[in-house]
Each structure stands twice: as structure tokens, then as C-alpha cells.
Amino acid sequence: MIKVRFAPSPTGYIHIGNTRIALFNWLYAKAHNGTFILRYDDTDAERSKQEYIDALMVDLEWLSIQPDEVYYQSKRFNRYDEVAEVLKQRGLLYPCYETAEELDRRRKIQLSRKLPPVYNRDALKLALEDKKAFEDQGRKPHWRFLLPNFESNPFQTKRTEVYWDDIVKGRQMIDLASMSDPVLIREDGSYLYTLPSVVDDIDMAITHIIRGGDHVANTAAQITLFKALDAVPPIFGHINLLTTASGEGLSKRNSDLSIRSLREDGFESMAVQCLAVLIGTSQNVQAYSNQDTLLKHFHLEDTSKSSAKFDVADLLVLNSHFVHELTYEDIKTRLEKFSIHGEQAEYFWNTVKNNITKLNDAALWWKIIHTDKSFDIISPEDRVYAQQSVHSLPDGVLNDESWKIWTTALQEKTGRKGKALFMPLRQALTGITHGPEMGKFLPLLGREKVVKRLTTVGSGKL
């Protein structure tokens, strides 16, 4: 059975890039009747927060992602310690005492000599008394994984090619001789990403690792660690990364692109899903109405090998397609959160929905209807026109025909046509130069508000 995992660090709110990886794994599992595991990489006790764990569960539910199993790395430290000890006993995990400053200085020297900045394994030369001397100075070791890029002498590395068939990028190769032995354990005893990730993937029987292309460089070392632990490496797939519209990399600092922010800003879940999944692929980005339909157009092999730009403007266009299809019954409960309810609510929704791009925009139009504020018109000439227009307003209760009757009468009376005829009226009544069809909007305002707003604008009393 296919088993995939989404392994976020709960150190912030997930953004659209994280979401893309979650959806790729979720859809791949669904397509193959597989299992989707949610694994919190929460080994960083200082930065991992419960609020981000709680927020992630809300985000995944909104995205219609339902994990089959949930794990926390913070509850598995004993297992990692056990594996680390095995590696130490086998001489595959060795202690190093260099400080960060010393390593950085050595790296700069190597680069100045046009040498690759690869760790030279000096720590392997340390005798027991050397290690004790460092520890007497207060130094604590970090631990490196010894890569098998040599025959018998670890100081005489040789070209050691690691291959894998990436289900997105195709055949890949990395030479272990070009890499430093990766640090698996920090000086304070905490684990970096690699060891817990590999141990979990083995213990949880992960068959496919689908993740961002920024992890390609890590893959050779991870494959080597799988083999060192007598495990068969899973199948890897590295998808292209998303950038901002300006080409910058996404991070949790892009709070406006977090799923939490997009949801609260009124975007539809399926709009976010469609763009996150289809952007940067050979598929056209379309507004598929549900996840099952989106799944039919999801194919890992369609993923481009170059990065893709995520532009909120594209999301707005896509989102508008979903909003325009929503009936009042679909949206009634969500509208009530904006205090949009009552006898006018259904007529209001049907009037404004084709002129908004996201749900929150409806709240603006509801406010425009119910505010006591008057709206300004800059042109003095148009102010006079607005004041005079009151006298041509049809008698009685305003309905769908009132706007046409009113503007026809004004055209005959003033000679105005086109925008000169209707734009000052729209501005005076709504404060905006665009929006819903005024013939439908006028009854929502009612005669009393229409007269008050026109009169107030016309007199200049704002």
C-alpha cells in the first residue's frame, strides 16, 4: 500500500507553498487508495507552538485533507536516541568539536583557494585525550554521519554516485564526494531534520516522499542513511517550488499568503486548492468545483521542473468563478457572520455576487446600503445634477424598473448620456464608480436613503 506523509514544523502558519506539498501528497494518496500521514516535525521545542498545531488542523480541514494517522516527533526522542546509539557503535556517527566560527573560517579559506567547502573529517583524527581536552574547555560535540565515499581511508574520498529515479524530475545523481558529512545531532543534543525524518519514514513504512525541490540536495545523504539502517529507501518526488509574484521564495514570514490569512480574507477553499495544485504544471488552471474533479486532473508527471509564481491576482480571478456560482443557500450561514441576514439578504446576494471576487467583498456592499454616511462627488457640476435628479425620481416604492424610468427621464430633461448620465448617480449613492447593476441595487437602498444621499451630496453637506 502506498503511504505518504506531510511533515510540517509547527513554528508558524502554513503558507500556499506548504499547502501545495500537502495537497500533492493527499491527492496522490487518494488516487492510489493509499494512506496519508500527518507528522509534526516538532523537535524544536523553543519554536514549536501548540497554537500552530491547532491552526494547522483547521487549515487542513478547510482544505478537505483528512489525515489517516497523526504523529509527533517530540514524542519519539527515545527512538531517535536508540538509532543514534546504533550508528555510534558502528562508527557511522562521530563526534566533532569545532565551533561554528572555526568551521566558517575553514570554509572561507577553502573557497579562497577555489576548493570545495567540504568538511575534512579532522574530528576522526582526535584521540581520547584530545576529546577530553575539548570537553574540559566546556565544548560539547556535534555528531556527523560518516558518508561511505571512500574505500578504507576516510581521508581519501572517491567519487561515489548515488542515483534515484525521481517520479517528478526523472533520473537523479549526486556524488557523495562533493558533500560534507551531515550533522545529525547538535551540540545541545537536539536532532536536526535528517535522522528523525529517516527513522520515522522507516518506522511508518512511508513508500513515497513527495516534497519541495529544495530537498533534492539532501536526498543522497538520506538514501545513504536509509541503507545504513538496513532499510529500502522510499520513492522520491521533488516538485517545483512556488515563489511570490515578484519571484521571491515563500516563507512563513509571508503572512498574507498563509492559509489562515487567505481563508479569513474570504477566499474559497477550492480556489486555493485549484491554483496550488495546477499552477506550475502542464494543466490549465481551472475552477474545478470539488476535490474529486480536481483529482482527475492531477498527475505528478505534469509538474514543471522550473519554479512557478503564485500571484494573488490570479487567485482573485479564480475565486470569482466560485463566488459567482454560489447560491444564497450555499452561502447563507457564512453571510450571517457579516451580519448579512433578514428579508433583504437573498435579494442582496443575488444582486452583488457577480460583482465581487471574494466573500468579504459582500460585507462592503452591505455596509454601503446600511450606512448613514453620504458620499462625495468632486465635480460641482455633478453635485448640482445629483440635487436636481431627486425631482425626477419615480413616485412610490422603488423596484427593478425604477432606475430605467429615472435615468430615461433625466436624459430627456438634462440631455446627459452614458457615463455623464449615470456615473454621478452611482457615486452619490454608493461612493464607488463600479459595482452591481444599479437597477437591482436601487431597491436595496430604498427611497428614503436615495433622496437623503442625493440631497446631501447636492448641497455639499458631507
Report the relative pairing of strands 3-6 and 35-40 from DSSP bridges.
Answer: parallel
Which grid coordinates are listed for 78? 527515545
**Interatomic CA distance for residues 345 and 444, integer angstroms:** 10
**In a domain? residue 397:** yes
Q: Is residue 312 part of a domain?
A: no
φ/ψ of residue 259, rounded to 5: -65, -35
| Residue 275 grid coordinates | 491554483
Give the whole-angstrom CA distance, residue 311 versus residue 321: 16
Residue 69 lies in a domain: yes
Q: Is residue 55 domain-shared with residue 198, that is, in the same domain?
A: yes
- Answer whether residue 255 shows pLDDT above 80: no
CATH code of residue 84: 3.90.800.10
Judge if 206 and 63 occupy the same domain.
yes
pLDDT 10s digits, 324-372:
999 999 999 999 999 999 999 999 999 999 999 999 999 999 999 999 8
Amino acid at 103: L
Q: Is 252 annotated as a binding residue?
A: yes
> Cell triple for residue 327?
447560491
Q: Where are the beta strands (DSSP E) in 150-247?
A: 161-166, 170-175, 183-185, 208-212, 235-239, 242-243
Q: Is residue 316 part of a domain?
A: no
Asked whether residue 11 is domain-assigned, the answer is yes
d(CA 457, CA 243): 46
Could you tell me the end-to-end alpha-carbon distance of the chain, in angstroms, rounded to an integer?
A: 69
Give which of 37, 125, 93 is closest to 221, Cα–Cα: 93
Q: Identify the weakest region by mean pLDDT among 259-263, 283-287, 302-306, 426-430.
A: 302-306
Q: pLDDT for 10-58, tens place per residue? A: 999 999 999 999 999 999 999 999 999 999 999 988 899 999 999 999 9
Do both 409 and 434 map to the same domain?
yes
In a domain, 375, yes or no: no
CA distances from 330 to 14, 319, 335 (A): 27, 15, 10
What is residue 283's DSSP assignment? S
Residue 252 has pLDDT above 70, yes or no: no
Domain total in the chain: 4
Query: What is the rounded distance in angstroms from the CA atom of residue 413 to the CA atom of residue 402?
Result: 16
Same domain, 393 and 337: no
Q: Which domain holds residue 341?
A: 328-370
Tens of pLDDT along 422-433? 999 999 999 999
pLDDT in tens, 210-224: 999 999 999 999 999
**Hey, what's the torsion of the CAs at 81, 86, 87, 88, to 10 degrees?**
80
- Assigned domain for 419 exists: yes
Average pLDDT estimate for 193-201: 98
> 197 and 344 in one domain?
no
Q: Pick the closest to residue 214 from 183, 177, 237, 240 (CA basis).
A: 240
Residue 294 included in any domain: no
Q: Which three cell numbers stand for residue 68?
A: 489517516
Domain termination site, one of 241, 262, 278? 241
Predicted local distance difference test score (pLDDT) of residue 110:
93
| Per-position DSSP letters for 1-55, written without gaps between them | --EEEE---SSS--BHHHHHHHHHHHHHHHHTT-EEEEEE----TTT--HHHHHH
Same domain, 196 and 65: yes
User: Distance between CA 209 and CA 164 in Å, rounded?
Assistant: 12
Q: Tell the residue number behind the cell numbers 452561502, with chain if given.
A: 331
User: Can you read off the three cell numbers belonging to residue 108?
Assistant: 572561507
Residues 385 and 335 in one domain: no
Tell the residue number behind the cell numbers 466560485, with chain if given: 322
pTM of structure: 0.90
Asked if residue 217 and residue 88 are part of one domain, the reply reads: no
Tell me: do 156 and 229 sit in the same domain. Answer: no
Same domain, 41 and 104: no
CA 195 – CA 143 distance, rounded (Å): 11
User: Which CATH number is 15's domain given?
Assistant: 3.40.50.620
Of 126, 150, 166, the one marking the end of a domain is: 166
- Please give the grid coordinates belonging to residue 57: 488542523
Same domain, 28 and 83: no
Q: How far apart are CA 457 and CA 454, in angstroms?
A: 5
Per residue in 134-180, pLDDT (tens digit) is 999 999 999 999 999 999 999 999 999 999 999 999 999 999 999 99
Same domain, 160 and 117: yes
Strand partners, 3: 35
| CATH number, residue 410 | 1.10.10.350
Task: Tell me which of 241, 265, 280 is where a domain ends.
Answer: 241
Print burial letters for 271-285: b (CB count within 10 Å at least 16), e (below 16): bbbbbbbbbbbebeb
Q: Report d(CA 456, CA 375) in Å as an integer.
A: 8
CA-angle at 34, arms to 29 and 35, nearest 5°: 90
Note whether 254 and 240 are within 8 A (CB).
Answer: no
